[in-house]
Amino acid sequence: MTDSQISRSGPSVVENHLAEPGQGPTLPVEPEESGRWSAALREIVAGNIVLSVLSVVLALVAGAVLIAATNDDVQESAGYFFARPGDMVMAILSSVGGAYSALFQGAVYNFRRPDFFDAIRPLTDTLTYATPLIAGGLGVALAFRVGLFNIGGRGQMLVAAAAAGWIAFSWDLPFGVHMLVALIAGVTAGAIWGGVVGLLKARTGAHEVIVTIMLNYVAFYLISYLLRTPVLGTPGSNNPKSPASKETAVFFELLGSKYNLHFGFIIVIAATVFVWWLLNRSSMGFRFRAVGENPAAARVAGINVNRVYVAAMLFSGGLLGLAGVNQVLGTTTSGFGAGVDAGIGFDAITVALLGRSRPWGVFVAGILFGAFKAGGFSMQAAEGVPIDIVVVVQSLIVLFIAAPPLVRAIFRIPAPLERTARPRKKAVAQ
Amino acid sequence: MKLELRGITKRFGALVANDHIDLTVNPGEILGLLGENGAGKSTLMNVLYGLYQADEGEILLDNEVQHFSGPGDAMHAGIGMVHQHFMLIPVFTVAENVMLGHEQTGFAGRLDVAAARAQVRKISEAFGFDLDPDAIVGDLPVGVQQRVEIIKALSRDAKVLVFDEPTAVLTPQETDELMTIMRQLKQGGTSIVFITHKLREVRAVADRISVIRLGKVVGEAEPTATNTELASLMVGRAVELTVQKGPAKTRGRAFAVENLSVVDARDQVVVDRVSFDVRAGEILAIAGVQGNGQTELTEAIMGLQERVSGSITLDGQSLRHLSVQKVLDAGVGFIPEDRTEDGVVSEFTIAENLMLDRSYSKPFVKAGSLQRNYLAAFAEEKIAEFDIRAQSIDTHAGRLSGGNQQKVVLARELSRDLRLFVAAQPTRGLDVGSIEFVHERIIATRDAGIPVIVVSTELDEVVALADRIAVMYGGRIVGIVPGDTPRDVLGLMMAGEAPEQGAAA
Amino acid sequence: MTDTAQRTPAAPHKDINTGPVQRSWKAPIALGVFALLAVILFMGFGRAGESTLTLSARADSIQLVPLVLPTLATCYIIAAVLVAIAVAATLMVRRGTRVPLWLTTVFSILLLLGFLVWASAGANLPIPGLLAGSLGLAVPLIFGALGGVISERVGVVNIAIEGQLLAGAFSSALVASVTGSPIIGLVAAMVSGVLVSFVLAAFAIKYVVDQVIVGVVLNVLVSGLTGFLFSQLLSPNSDALNSPPRFNEIAIPLLSEIPIIGHVFFRQTLIVYLMYLAVACVYVGLFHTKWGLRLRAVGEHPQAADTVGINVGSTRFWNVSLAGAIAGLGGAFFTLGSVGAFGKDMTAGAGFIALAAVIFGRWDPIRATLAALLFGFASNLQGVLNIIGSPVPSEFMLMLPYLVTIFAVAGLVGKSRPPAASGKPYIKS
């Protein structure tokens, strides 16, 4: 035997990464290990839901602190806290309780209405508000799964709303067909606006985060300009606002004229099913996920990564386009301005994160944030608590969700077996 | 300075990377630390350097116990390290890299670059290096970058110097030069730890040799020990590593590359007018030191390189200008050299990894829909056939050992109808059992009448598998020689010298 | 720039002839396109009349005579010169020489002058006012961009500049109103910028959350928080809580008397002078001090920095905090320097323009400052042209910074290479 017969494995690449489980000298223990791993995995999955709920609770508590601290009665009673501490406690309870019960009654069920059909109206409002959030959330989530960060929801929604709105107010088509054409036009416009980002990334390597941010503003100024011209603007009006969508194009109401819930919700359910199928059951989704998890390996395996980026951004933009269409055909059918996106493009990011980029997770997260929105308006009206508090609570939820160790530390939950520090992509896509 | 490690233990979860390791290095001595990949050498040195904290044990310098909470402490105590993957900042100059971390400053923290330049020049001159302190490190050749690493350590008055697999990226000449430098350092009283898995090198330069296996020190040896002794210590059993291989039954020329050149993103010609052919039923090994164009050559064949010229033909069909997908469809099987980066998707299950390169057509996909039942049956079959040790087909590939991951890649590639098989560094970082398995499969593929290309930086693997050997240096093929060519000839070729008898094989 | 160098340390330099150095046709093509645009605009849409460019503000002690130019003739001449330069550049590249920087600079200035003359046909364009307004719009952008440069150079992507500006604007208005001192307001702005940074740093470094996510969410959080407090506290008590004293202008003797630019640059508030100081300090600090060397090392190759004893985590943490303080100052300019009171979401995307300036300025403090000035100029020009009634829709001028940035990241304008480890968390075993 010569020396050469031994030193056959290459330079020690592995050794430096010993932290990877199972790679190294302790091979024999593997069967046990994988058993332990699946147990750990189950724990993490179970823990995820608990952590999500705790995150929501934490955020609501933080919101309560803000509400109480800025409440006039609370501040007043704080002045004589040592004389009568009970006053302050009562003031806090009443301010927070009032705000959150208004939030609940505005979002789910209004106890003050005698009739069930009146009382349940807030819940349908919640679903109405949730509709574009789910559509947008799906778009952002889909991009996440491919390893792309689509912050361009605002721009994609704006061009989609403009395209759909333009068809809705300027074309004359029969009922149904009109809506369908407007819908397709809007989704296509959003898809193109997103696809450009994918194309730039594929062709030039331009980072999608930067491009989408910049395209948001380009779209905003473009639509602002068009609204001042006869293309989108209302003739004879100085107001940069479009004419109203025609009845033939508007999403019809699902539960009669008493409720705002419209056909868009059905489309969004269909979209959720579609995205679920796309990601989990289709070959294209397989490639999407492969590229999202490891673009290098995907490329070596013959997957055209650039084409996947373009395709994913087309779908993502199209879904955000759907959110934009919802705005002009469902929510603000009386004509739109350059603010028609109503911040949904950014809310969609939080929805996708809360839903952990899973289609049905996004669906649930969208309904939760829809409830916050619906309730937020009634809270503002009834209790005078500015609706901005909802934005604060939402962003806190996402921050907490993104950092499980923080939530665990606050509630003193033990960490599930090692691996607390997760690499970059996981925070997005898991 | 005398370095002593006592009972060092380091665990990663359930894995014990270092198990009560004791080592001593005396002043002016070179200790060779020999071990297979994954034996725990680098972990040990990272503990010594303060990058990892040991779970048990202590480090002593000149009989004083040290407590390193980071590399800064270790450096301060006089330990320097030449890392396997250079710890240099490519966009900085040599002087900036050398001064980083112990900068001399003037008024208001202003950098004293002149002092750093002077220091670089002083140390360079002492060792006869010709080094421009203002050169950008990223523009320097690898061998020179390593010298910057050495200067970096010496500029911090390192009394103990650790070389972690320093020859992996060097040509034989550069390796010889490095050894001269190490002897020079030793003369000056520096204690040196030389980590390697290459027997020849450690015997040439070390005063004493410690062998480490599965995280433990399994023996000490003198440099006079035979290779066989060292080798059996290192791998733990007297291994018969020559794979059983009959003579090749070759048929006609199946695959040919002519005048192939590749230009990389930095406008460097990395593959330079390379020509060779492979017959059906033979293994052509492409040997050479890492980074001499082998990676780019295989990538060019696979359609993974952009700027390629020349011709690539398989059974008369040109593979140039084809997408990776089309190349795979043409019947080319490919094992990429970086398994975790390019071979598997760690977050995918074994089953999903097994269909990674077949997501475009039947049988795994019908009408755009995944055929999950078919995939499950297929995966079950392959797990058994390739002896992939995992709990189920739904285990994530990232949870598998390197050997099992490689078996997944092998199973995926060998289950297609192949007309060419390209394996790049197929056994890098694997345990001995997996290496044997992979080698057997490669030979079985050859015996099935498929042309095979094996790219390896390990001369031993090349010698064990090849029917013919093409040696690459500087992007060119130095020569193509028979599989039984003596190693010293191959060694010279790897250093760029054309074989005397000419490329006749 | 050798962006692949660190990925392939194993690639030896080849002694192979790499062929002639590739000629870059980018410059002549770009010049040609712009020259063509100028010809189309100036000749195709030629405007008659005279353009008056006022060069002195009323308060200047040295009064310059306004420049009165015949619009059409001036435009024709300028267009001709532009075409000539483009042709010259083409010839230069064909001969194998590079297009010198001064030539492109002259080209740009002429193009700009031509555009101003063309746009102000039959009207009076006050140049000092235009410049002063541009600087005013650019100040917060510059602060934000400096914060961005520091943060990204140390390896943490800073999408939260917008949030830092907004937090700075809010707290400086509140604190300055309560204390009556703009200086204390300035300090409060820095503190609140740092607080936003703390959250960014803690989540990005300690909890290894994706930095872009944290940045995006922080912007929303700050917008919601300041919006909530504004509606709940500031607007009901705006006299007490939202009427900050503003900084007075300080004229620097002699310098402020320089014609055209003296008034613009040297009769300014304290914040603007702080901005000059900040630009100089960041530039010198980044490239000529120990602090900067370590900061850049951590952003380029954190592991290498770690092995020479630099604490990557704390270096990142404190420098991201510093970046927040600087961006916070920019926020204070909105309330203490220009507007005089806080308004909901008053930064209106300035943070993203600052981010654009960071990228367009290739992560270099001086270039980023120039980019911010350019962007400020573009948006102010839009306002001025609107007033004198120009034919260019203002939206397209406002779009400019964003479009230019897209071109920049797509590699159509120069080549921008971010710090190698920017956005990548450093995980030690």
ipTM value for the complex: 0.80
**Range of the structural domain that residue A305 is part of:** 115-382
Worst-scoring range by mean pLDDT, A374-388, B158-172, B432-446? B158-172
Question: Are B118 and B197 in a shared domain?
Answer: yes
**pLDDT at position A416:** 60
Percentage, residues of chain B above pLDDT 70: 95
Tens of pLDDT along A164-177? Answer: 999 999 999 998 89
More confident of the two residues A268 and A94: A268
Worst-scoring range by mean pLDDT, A195-204, A267-276, C58-67, C117-126? C58-67
Nearest-Cα distance to chain B for C317, in Å, is 18
Domain boundaries, chain C: 26-122, 128-409
CATH number at A251 reads: 1.10.3470
Close Cβ partners of A20 (under 8 Å, ≥ 6 residues apart):
B340, B398
User: Which of B15, B368, B402 lies at the smallest CB-CB distance from A283?
Assistant: B368
Close Cβ partners of A342 (under 8 Å, ≥ 6 residues apart):
A327, A331
Residue A106 covered by a domain: no
Cβ contacts of B16 on chain A, cutoff 8 Å? 25-26
Collapse the DSSP code of B217 into the 3-class scheme (helix H, G, I; strand E, B; otherwise coil) and give the result: strand
**Domain total for chain A?**
1
Report CB contact under 8 Å: C228, A392. yes
Question: Are B248 and B372 in a shared domain?
Answer: no
Of the candidates C161, C200, C189, C194, the one whose C-alpha atom is nearest the C-alpha of residue C347 is C161
Question: Are B391 and B428 in a shared domain?
Answer: no
**pLDDT at position B236:** 60
User: Number of B:C CB contacts under 8 A?
Assistant: 143
Report CB contact under 8 Å: B356, A297. yes
A83 touches chain B (CB under 8 A): no
* Interface chains of chain A (3 or more CB pairs under 8 Å): B, C
Cβ contacts of C297 on chain B, cutoff 8 Å? 89, 92, 100
User: Which of C159, C405, C427 lies at the smallest CB-CB distance from A421?
Assistant: C427
Question: Are B383 and B298 in a shared domain?
Answer: no
Question: Are B123 and B37 in a shared domain?
Answer: yes
Residue B316 corresponds to which tokens in the numbers above? 């008369």
Question: Are B149 and B79 in a shared domain?
Answer: yes
Distance CA(B492)–CA(B288), nearest Å, equals 10
**Range of the structural domain that residue B380 is part of:** 349-416
Percentage, residues of chain B above pLDDT 90: 42
Of the candidates A354, A292, A414, A294, the one whose C-alpha atom is nearest the C-alpha of residue A40 is A414
Close Cβ partners of A220 (under 8 Å, ≥ 6 residues apart):
A154, A155, A158, A338
Report whether C17 contacts C61 (CB < 8 A): no
Question: Where would I find the beta strands (DSSP E) of B281-375?
Answer: 283-287, 307-314, 317-318, 332-335, 365-366, 369-370
Nearest-Cα distance to chain A for B403, in Å, is 8
Burial class of residue B164 in the structure, from the number of CB atoms within 10 Å of its CB (0-12 exposed, 13-18 middle, 19+ buried): buried
Residue A32 pLDDT > 60 = no
C240 touches chain A (CB under 8 A): no
Q: Identity (one letter) of the amino acid at B94? A: V
Residue B341 covered by a domain: no
Cβ contacts of A15 on chain B, cutoff 8 Å? 37-43
Cβ contacts of B242 on chain A, cutoff 8 Å? 5
C301 touches chain B (CB under 8 A): yes
Cβ contacts of C17 on chain B, cutoff 8 Å? 269
**pLDDT at position C30:** 79
User: Which of C214, C232, C409 lies at the smallest CB-CB distance from A210?
Assistant: C409
User: Which of A203, A205, A209 lies at the smallest CB-CB distance from C212?
Assistant: A209
Tens of pLDDT along A213-235? Answer: 899 999 999 999 999 888 888 88
pLDDT band at B202 (very low <50, low <70, confident <90, very high): confident
Cβ contacts of A418 on chain B, cutoff 8 Å? 13
Residue where a domain terminates, one of B416, B447, B473: B416
Of the candidates C167, C169, C170, C148, the one whose C-alpha atom is nearest the C-alpha of residue C159 is C148
**pLDDT at position A184:** 96
C14 touches chain B (CB under 8 A): yes
Count, residues in chain A? 430
More confident of the two residues A388 and A83: A388
Average per-residue pLDDT in chain B?
Answer: 87
What is the DSSP-derived secondary structure letter of residue B266? Answer: T
Tens of pLDDT along B395-414? Answer: 999 888 888 999 999 999 99
Looking up tokens 């001595």 gives B29
Q: Is the dihedral of CA A364, A369, A372, A376 positive or negative?
A: negative
The architecture (CATH level 2) of C128-409 comes to Orthogonal Bundle (1.10)
Mean pLDDT of A179-188: 96
pLDDT band at A137 (very low <50, low <70, confident <90, very high): very high
Cβ contacts of C5 on chain B, cutoff 8 Å? 90-91, 137-139, 266
Number of C-beta neighbours around residue C414 at 10 A: 11
Residue B36 corresponds to which tokens in the numbers above? 């297979």
Residue B338 covered by a domain: no
Question: Are B222 and B244 in a shared domain?
Answer: no
Report whether A23 contacts B38 (CB < 8 A): yes
- Interior/surface letters B221-257, b for 16+ CB within 10 angstroms, e for the rest: beeebebebbbbbbbeeebebeeebeebebeeebbbb
Q: Identity (one letter) of the amino acid at C144? A: G
pLDDT band at A415 (very low <50, low <70, confident <90, very high): low
Q: Identity (one letter) of the amino acid at A383? A: E
CA dihedral angle for residue A399, residue A402, residue A408, residue A413, rounded to 10 degrees = 140
DSSP-H helix ranges across B100-244: 113-127, 142-154, 172-187, 199-205, 227-235
CATH number at B147 reads: 3.40.50.300
Residue where a domain terminates, one of B370, B387, B416: B416
Tens of pLDDT along B298-331? Answer: 999 999 998 899 999 999 999 998 999 999 999 9
- pTM of the full predicted structure? 0.83
Cβ contacts of A38 on chain B, cutoff 8 Å? 391
Worst-scoring range by mean pLDDT, B247-251, B257-261, C234-238, C387-391? C387-391
**pLDDT at position B37:** 67
Q: Give pLDDT < 50 ranges for chain C.
A: 1-21, 414, 429
Residue B30 covered by a domain: yes
More confident of the two residues C257 and A129: A129
Q: Which H or E run contains B476?
A: strand B476-482
pLDDT band at A12 (very low <50, low <70, confident <90, very high): very low
Report CB contact under 8 Å: B100, C14. no
Residue A321 pLDDT > 70 = yes
Determine the residue of chain A that is closest to C410 in CA distance: A206
